[in-house]
Every structure is written in structure tokens, then in C-alpha cells.
Amino acid sequence: MFKHVKEIEDFATDKTAPDGSRKYFTESGAAYPSVTTVLGYQSKDSILQWRKRVGEEEANKISRQASTRGTKIHLLCENYLDNEDVDTSKLSMLDKIMWQSFQPILNRIDNIHAQEIALYSDHLRLAGRVDCIAEFDGKLSIIDFKTSRKPKKKEWITNYFAQAAAYSIMYEERTGTPINRSVILIAVEDEEPQVFIDKRDNYVHHLLHARDLYECDHK
């Protein structure tokens, strides 16, 4: 059984814009873009090039499969950590194997402070919904769950760590609790899951650069 040490509700409400981007609205009336939208913005050109290379039909198929799998794994993680029954009956055999290999990694989590809560930062002018804030191997961390068709190298996931850094800053601004440890957990197709750990402050510069670029182009 996982121990939950806090009950924290959403700090903002989120809505999807017509272009598919996400915005969060605070009680003060501020409207902030999603940190995932902001970080993804600087990758838009490389994504367009990839879509041209593989073709629209294949790109749509891969994107749809990745999105569906990611949603399923995220929901399983949330339910599992909430000590709820986990239903794997609708998973494909491949997804079921991925989930089974991921569970031992999740068992390193405990003393959960929050799951899937909306956060924002007036300082960053950003918002987002964090996967999990809990202890990982006994240390309080921002924890993000990802899925991938192939193993990642750490230098490929700078945006993942920048996203976690944003959640850490948002959480500290909202609650006063600092967290300087980011944990990225990746369930990988036909491979063992990956665990990447780093310090928040190593990725703040990257985060701010991405935010400034996004704001400059959206004035």
C-alpha cells in the first residue's frame, strides 16, 4: 500500500484551445500556457520534418498509438499509486508486458504528496499538470511517467527534465515546499524501463529560454 501524506486540489483550471494547445486559468484571472505546449514549440520544425520524412499517414498512426499508449500507462500508474484495482483486461499483450515491467519501478515510490494536480507559477508565467510528487527511493521528487517505442539517451530528454523543473518551481511557489530532484520514468516497448534522475536547477535555463521564445512569437 502506498502512503499518501497530503490532499492537494488543483490550483488552476485548464481548457483546450481550438488549436489544440492548453491554457490554465487561475483564481486571479491570469491565463497561462501549458509548459508542455511551450517546450514543444521549439521542436515544431523537427516534428514537421519527421512527418514529411515518414509520410502523413504513418506519422498520424505512430502519433495516435503513442498517445493512446501514454494515456493508458498514465492512468494505470495513477490508479496503482492510489491503491486502486488496476484493470489490464483491455491492454494489448505488448502494453501489458510494458506495464508489468514498470510496476517494480513504481514500487520505489512512497509518501505521495500529489498526483495529477494543476499547478501554475506567476514567476514563470506557465502552468501544467504534474504526474506525481512523492518520495522516490526515499527522496522527495517531481516524478514524470513517459512511454517510448525505443530506449532514450539522457541527452535526448532535456525537455522532460525542463518540464519537471517547471513543476518544481510551480509547487514551491504554491506551497512553499522546495523540491530539487526530478525523476523521469520511461516504460519502453520490448525493453526494460528506464530511470533518469537529475537536479531541477540544471534545467531552469533551458526552461526559461523555451518560455522566452514562445512568448516572443505569441505577442
Would you say residue 1 lies in a domain? no
Spatial contact of 170 and 119, defined as CB atoms under 8 Å apart:
yes
Would you say residue 191 lies in a domain? yes
Q: How far apart are CA 168 and CA 161, in angstroms?
A: 10
* CATH code of residue 170: 3.90.320
Mean pLDDT of the residues in the chain: 88
Would you say residue 190 lies in a domain? yes
Would you say residue 119 lies in a domain? yes
- The pLDDT of residue 40 is 87
Would you say residue 69 lies in a domain? yes
Domain hosting residue 28, numbered range:
13-217
Residues 162-201 pLDDT 10s: 999 999 999 999 999 999 999 999 999 889 999 999 999 9
Q: How far apart are CA 17 and CA 71, in angstroms?
A: 20
> What is the number of domains present in the chain?
1
